[in-house]
Amino acid sequence: MANYTVLVTGGAGYVGSHVVVELLNQGYTPVIIDNFSNSIKGSGSKPEVLLRIERITGKQVTFYEGDIRDKPTLQNVFKKHSFTHVIHTAGMKAVGESIIMPIEYYNCNVGGTICLLEVMKEFSCYNIIFSSSATVYGPPDFLPIDETHHVGRGITNPYGKTKYFIEEILRDLTTADKNWNVVLLRYFNPVGSHKSGLIGENPQGIPQNLMPFVSQVAVGRRESVKVFGTDYDTPDGTGVRDYIHVLDLASGHVAAVNKASEGCGLKLYNLGSGKGYSVLDMIKAMEKASGKQIAYNLAGRREGDIASMYANATLAETELHWKAERGLDEMCEDLWRWQSSNPNGY
């Protein structure tokens, strides 16, 4: 195996920490940069995460505290390591918050990416794997949604637009300069945690995503879940989404590192399970995993929500030799192990 040294931006966050564990387990050398200053509703990266990664892997983690918008800090990190790849997971990620704070989202997500790309070019590191999102598709014209679906139309929030704009920047970059190899990973909905229960999703404030909220109800931190929309054209009337185990997501990043190493140019892949589960399906699965009854209240639709969204992930299976291996029960069991072991997060 090639000895790749991989900078993971946002490597102390939810997805980033699981990616770092997978890289270490596969024999790569990850280096983390994270500023620990997630927005109020962000994923809540904390210094404790680094100690837990080391406990899980038995390996030391190289870490720098810094913001990717701070060019001198980035340059200093690049001077100390000969990076072969960057996995770019840093960014603000709460949909609702992005509507209230659009300038901050554009500054952090788009501005931070441009700064990162400038420093990568300066140090001749031309391989980047970017954490994009299924939000770039907007409302789906067909299901399951594949990579041929149009992007950028009907995106309802600044968070999704920042992902779309960054994709376009990276697309233009590969057109202009053939040195670059870019893999865009369009995540669906990550769920679960590492088997150890030591690292997991740690939302600050009120969780913006369904499953952290459901698990907090199960552990007694919150009274009930509000289910928005009960009259969608779905089997039980509630919204249907594609959920993917965070460990499957992490292994997808390692597969993407290997793809970039082939000199792939621009590639884009859905990372999803290919299955749709409703809100009520997810609540029932969490009840089964936790052995707790989860109270929920039915409410009207939220503006901007869509009925169903799930992936066709066959391109990733064909080209990355990757597919989601873990099912719904395992996602919920692992989420419950994390939540019950860490009822208040890190």
What pLDDT digit, counting tens, does each position of 207-266 carry?
A: 889 999 999 999 999 999 999 999 999 999 999 999 999 999 999 999 999 999 999 999
In a domain, 49, yes or no: yes
Output the domain CATH number for residue 90: 3.40.50.720
In a domain, 191, yes or no: yes
pLDDT of residue 42: 44
If you average pLDDT over every residue of the chain, what do you get? Answer: 95
User: Which structural domain range is residue 122 located in?
Assistant: 5-341
Residue of 14, 159, 277, 310 marked catalytic: 159
**64 pLDDT exceeds 50?**
yes
In a domain, 188, yes or no: yes
Mean pLDDT of 21-47: 80
pTM above 0.75, yes or no: yes
What pLDDT digit, counting tens, does each position of 91-118 carry?
A: 998 888 899 999 999 999 999 999 999 9
pLDDT of residue 38: 56
What is the domain count for the chain? 1
In a domain, 78, yes or no: yes
Structure tokens at 56: 């899980």
- Please check whether residue 115 is in contact with residue 146, taking contact to mean a CB–CB distance below 8 angstroms: no
- Helix 328-341 vs helix 279-290: angle between axes, to the nearest 10 degrees? 60
In a domain, 346, yes or no: no
**342 pLDDT exceeds 70?**
yes
Count the alpha carbons within 13 Å of 257 in the hemisphere toward its beta carbon: 29
Q: Any catalytic annotation for residue 159? A: yes
- Helix 246-261 vs helix 14-25: angle between axes, to the nearest 10 degrees? 60
Shortest CA distance to 257 belongs to which of 181, 337, 313? 181
